[in-house]
Amino acid sequence: MISRRRLGGLAATMGVAALARPGILRAQQLAPEQVMQVGFPVADTGTLDPHIAVSNADVPIVQQVYEGLLALPHGALDATQLSPGLAERWESSPDRKVWTFHLRRGVRWHGDFGEFSSADVLFSLERVRGTTLGSPFRGTLANIAKAEADGPLTVRITLQHADVGFPALMVNHQAGYVVCKRAVEQGVNLRSRPIGTGPFRFEAHRARERLTLAAHDAYWGGRPVLRQIVYHFMPDNATRELALRSGDIDLTALPARQDAVDRARAQNQIVDLTDVGNLVTIHINMKKPPFNDVRVRRALAHGIDRQNLSDFFGKDIATPQLSVVSAALGGHTTDIPLYAYDVDRAKALLAEAGHPNGFATEVICSSIDLYLPMMQLMQEQWKKIGFTMNLRVVDHPTYHRLIRQDLSPLVAYSAARYPTVAQPYLDQFFHSAAAIGKPTAITNFSHYGNGMPGIDDLLDKARYSTDAAEQNRLWAEAQRRIATEVAALPLYSVKYALARNRRVDLTFTQKNYVFYGFSRTSRLLRA
């Protein structure tokens, strides 16, 4: 069990009224210790460099430390409600090819690295766009032709193609994070010592035990209410649930299952179900026999009972999906070839493909709850059509390493992409440039379009189109081609379950993300 730390002298009652929403946040409501204890569902963090962090073990921490020129609403991936961040205001040329950002004066980096300026913005953009770092977000900024400074507080970005949605890329998310040029040039390793401008700064890390962030009292937006956020590494679900029930932690992520949600509610915890448009999909390597035969791929499609999979996770958690673009994303369509659950048809297709007695294949599988139970259910479903999927179960970091070495013919992947439209998802999973093994690889595990016809032509046209109807038409055609060729098998979309005790006041609604975030005004109330 975890003992809640007693931090004498850090009671955050002084000066809180100045930070509070008038008439709502009153100092006498606050707990004497403003130390948020988080049950973090991972064994340890991997990297805290925001330009390479993609894992749920890293992103929640990065989000508290770093900022972008613009800011998303707290708790939401909503590109329609952007607000000023490190830039106070922004504007574009009439043709939407030149974007100018006017930076905030007096923003200080954590530690002794001085003030934020345009030099940091230019450095960060080049860092993501360059080939040295190998950022997975490099393609996000591919439309930038040049970026230049007009003094220390103005940045002008010129695009190759007009993009009305470009500001949505300059937010506190993925490619939009700004890092400290001086810190990197002085040799600071951002993987283990992040230096940002956000409301919380890195304080300490004890491997496989906990990571602590402390309030950045010089934060440009004002002094945070919370004095510390302590992330306790707790990969075991039962341990986290018990710690939440006993009060040793204040909030945590629950397994994405109905039984976990029902237990938390029964214990009078607040459950937040978040929707990030996350789609669970099995990507099929179309270059590896026998999966290079479309009849085999279609047989696998007919062998899936999506409703059975969704029912396992629960009515509040999972919804069957038919297209590789989630119904929560703009550009989704169901006007695609459909493959009903049909064991006899699946068997017939395998026989036509030369496998009348079926076949067996080893598939690598992650041990986490999101993947292993689902793959075990798939294993039983496919056994009925004659396909034996032998699972090689590995820990999650090893899983990510091995699938990026192209070592598994089937890859289960749960993902959402930002902005919340079809383009980034299709680009990263189905554009040939994103195929595993290429220098530009991202997450195209199917190798769709790599040595075979794909959808590059559709995606390249849609990417910079300023006609929304034309974009939707191109995205729909891309989904039809993918479904026809069965490059991937969409299974279900999943909501994530988070739980907190009633002392936690986020001061915003946690709508998206698979983890809890915090704002400058987030706080702990008296019990």
Q: Is residue 362 in some structural domain?
A: yes
Mean pLDDT over 216-229 rounds to: 98
- pLDDT, position 396: 87
Judge whether 56 lies within some domain: no
Closest CA to 203 of 216, 219, 184: 216
Q: Which of 190, 213, 240 is the last residue before a domain boundary? A: 190
400 and 328 in a single domain? The answer is: yes
- pLDDT band with cut points at 50, 70 and 90 for residue 139: confident
Answer yes or no: is 20 within a domain: no
Element (H, E) at 49: none
Q: Confidence band (pLDDT; 50, 70, 90) for 3? A: very low
Q: Based on DSSP, count helices (H) and strands (E) in the chain, helices before strands.
A: 14, 21
Q: Are residues 517 and 473 in the same domain?
A: no
Angle at 42 between CA 38 and CA 46, to 5 degrees: 110
Regarding whether 137 and 183 lie in a shared domain, the answer is: yes
Residue 460 has a CB neighbour count (10 Å cut-off) of 14
Do 367 and 422 lie in one domain? The reply is yes
Give me the helix-helix angle, 456-463 and 422-430, nearest 10°. Answer: 140
- pLDDT classification of 55: cutoffs 50, 70, 90: confident
pLDDT band at 277 (very low <50, low <70, confident <90, very high): confident
Strand 200-206 and strand 154-159: the pairing is: unpaired
Q: Over 60: is that where the pLDDT of 413 sits?
A: yes
Report the pLDDT value the prediction gives residue 464, as an integer from 0 to 100: 86
What would the mean pLDDT of 134-149 be, rounded to a whole number? 93
The DSSP annotation for 130-141 comes to SSSS--TTGGGG
DSSP string, 99-118: EEEEEPTT-B-SSS--B--H
Residue span of the structural domain in which 303 resides: 279-494
Q: Quote the CA–CA distance of 168 and 9 in Å, as a whole number.
A: 41
**% of the chain exceeding 90 in pLDDT:** 85
Task: Give the whole-angstrom CA distance, residue 446 versus residue 454.
Answer: 11
Tell the residue number behind the tokens 């001086």, with chain if given.
182
Residues 435 and 361 in one domain: yes
Provide the pLDDT confidence category of residue 18 given band limits of 50, 70 and 90: very low
pLDDT in tens, 74-97: 999 999 999 999 999 999 999 999
Residues 164 and 110 in one domain: yes
Tokens (6 digits) for 42: 């991972």
Is 501 a member of any domain?
Answer: yes
Whether the pLDDT of residue 44 is over 70: the answer is yes
How many structural domains is the chain composed of? Answer: 3
Two tokens, residue 201: 């700064």
Indicate if 184 and 254 belong to the same structural domain: no
Give the CATH number for residue 255: 3.40.190.10
Q: What is the CATH number of the domain that holds 379?
A: 3.10.105.10
Burial 364-397 (b: 16+ CB within 10 A, else e): bbbebbbbbbbbebbbebbeebbbebeeeebebe
Over residues 144-151, mean pLDDT: 98
Q: Percent of the chain, pLDDT > 70? A: 95
Read off the pLDDT of residues 21-41 as tens digits, 9 standing for 90 and up.
Answer: 444 444 459 999 999 999 999
> Amino acid letter at 417?
R
Q: Is residue 2 predicted with pLDDT exceeding 60?
A: no
Beta pairing, strands 387-394 & 359-366 = parallel
Query: Which candidate, 430, 469, 483, 511, places its Cα nearest to that of 330?
Result: 469
Domain end residue (candidates: 156, 173, 190): 190
Q: Is 155 helix (H, G, I), strand (E, B) or coil?
A: strand
Which residue is associated with the tokens 């026998």?
Answer: 290
Q: Is residue 204 over pLDDT 90?
A: yes
What CATH number does residue 107 fall under?
A: 3.90.76.10
Q: Please give the average per-residue pLDDT across 314-332, as a whole number.
A: 94
Is 419 among the domain residues? yes
Q: pLDDT tens, 416-450? A: 888 889 999 999 999 999 999 998 888 999 999 99
Could you identify the residue written with the tokens 């990065």? 62
pLDDT at residue 14 in the model: 33
The amino acid at 452 = M
Q: Residue 83: what are its φ and ψ, rounded to 5°?
A: -135, 165
pLDDT at 67: 98
pLDDT of 15: 37
Per-chain mean pLDDT for the chain: 93
pLDDT of residue 440: 85
pLDDT-derived band at 482 (thresholds 50, 70, 90) equals very high
Which of 1-15, 341-355, 492-506 is predicted least confidently? 1-15
Same domain, 339 and 425: yes
Rounded to the nearest 10 degrees, what angle do helices 343-352 and 294-302 cross at?
A: 170
Residue 417 CA: distances (Å) to CA of 4, 122, 448, 455: 36, 24, 19, 18
Find the Cα–Cα–Cα–Cα dihedral 185, 189, 193, 194, rounded to 10°: 60
Q: Are residues 478 and 370 in the same domain?
A: yes
pTM: 0.82
Same domain, 489 and 500: no
- In sequence order, what DSSP letters do the residues of 338-361 get, joined into one string? -----HHHHHHHHHHTT-TT-EEE
Over the stretch 282-297, which tens digit does the pLDDT of each residue have? 999 999 999 999 999 9
Q: Look at residue 9 and tell me if it is in a domain.
A: no
In a domain, 446, yes or no: yes
pLDDT digits (tens, 9 = 90+) for 336-345: 999 999 999 9
Instruction: Looking at the structure, tell me whether residues 302 and 401 fall in a common domain.
Output: yes
Residue 13 predicted with pLDDT over 50: no
> Listing from the earlier edge strand, what are the strands of the sheet with 154-159?
87-92, 98-103, 154-159, 144-149
Q: Which amino acid is at 248?
A: D
SS3 of 361-387: the string is: EEEEEECCCCCHHHHHHHHHHHHCCCE
Query: Residue 1 domain-assigned?
Result: no
Are 289 and 251 found together in one domain? Answer: no
- Encode 477-503 in three state secondary structure: HHHHHHHHHCCEEEEEEECEEEEECCC
Residue 175: band (very low, low, confident or very high) from pLDDT cuts 50, 70, 90 = very high
pLDDT at 8: 33
